[in-house]
Amino acid sequence: MTFEEYVAARGPALVRLARLLTGDRDLAEDLVQEVLGRAFVRWRSISRMDRPDIYIRRMLVNANTSWWRRRSSGETPVAAELMTAAVDRSAMTKRDGGDPGNATAERDAMWRLVMALPERQRAVLALRYYEDLDDATIAEVLGCSPATVRTHAMRALAALRVQHPVTH
């Protein structure tokens, strides 16, 4: 597979994954361009791997980690603020009962909670519930054990359950 074929086939999916990792659409596109640019330089060796897509996703997660660290100096709202905002929103949607906008509001509230999770837990949720990868593959992407993946997922879900009482 050529680099061009890979980007045509997988590029959009990488951008969507990056949107979940970064929480920012512009940053996501920039991150994917950066990662694919680095992959371009050594595409010959990457394309010979059994599963180049796993490797590229690993590059993406790692690149986001370093970006996330740089951004964490103050640009990102603190978790507690996001949690409070989300819970307030959730309580509001509960009061609204059958409002047709209720589902959208709940999804928004859930997204805010996801964004407040530690970066590693958020990556696990994105890979498991959006990319639909199994724990062994997620472990390969994150460079950890499947047990650690399960622990991250369990803790993330526990936090979401506590903070987001589902209203339907």
Partner 1 sequence: MNDVEKLLTESLRNSADGEVDGMVLLERATTRGRKFRRRHRAWMGAGLAVVAAVAAGGVIGGTHLWPVSGNGNGNGFDVAVGGQPGARPATALPEVAGEQGASVNPARVGADVNLIHFDATAITSTARHYTWTSGKGYEQLAAGVGTEDLIYAEIGPDMGVLDGVERQNDLGVVVREQPVPGLWLRVQATDEKLARQIVGAIELDRVQRIVLPFQLTGLPAGASVVRSAVGFDDGVYTDGGVVLERDGNKRMEIQAQYAPGQGNDSARANHVAGGRQAFLYPGQDEIELLGLRNLELSARIGKAYQGFTVADADLALGGVNVAADVTAMSTWPKTLTS
Instruction: Provide the minimum distance between the beta carbon of 100 and partner 1 in the complex, in angstroms, as a whole number.
Output: 15
Residue type, 26: D
Q: Are 165 and 90 in contact (CB under 8 A)?
A: yes
Instruction: Provide the minimum distance between the beta carbon of 95 and partner 1 in the complex, in angstroms, as a whole number.
Output: 18
Residue type, 72: S
Give the binding site for partner 1 (CB under 8 A): 3-4, 7-8, 11-12, 15-17, 19-20, 23, 25, 29, 32-34, 36-42, 45, 49-51, 54-55, 58-59, 62-63, 66, 69, 103, 106-108, 110-111, 114, 125-126, 129-130, 140, 143, 145-148, 150-151, 154, 157, 160-161, 164, 166, 168
Q: At what angle do helices 3-22 and 52-71 cross, to 10 degrees?
A: 40
Distance CA 16, CA 3 (A): 19
Residue type, 75: E
Q: Measured from the CB atom, is 44 or 95 closer to partner 1?
A: 44
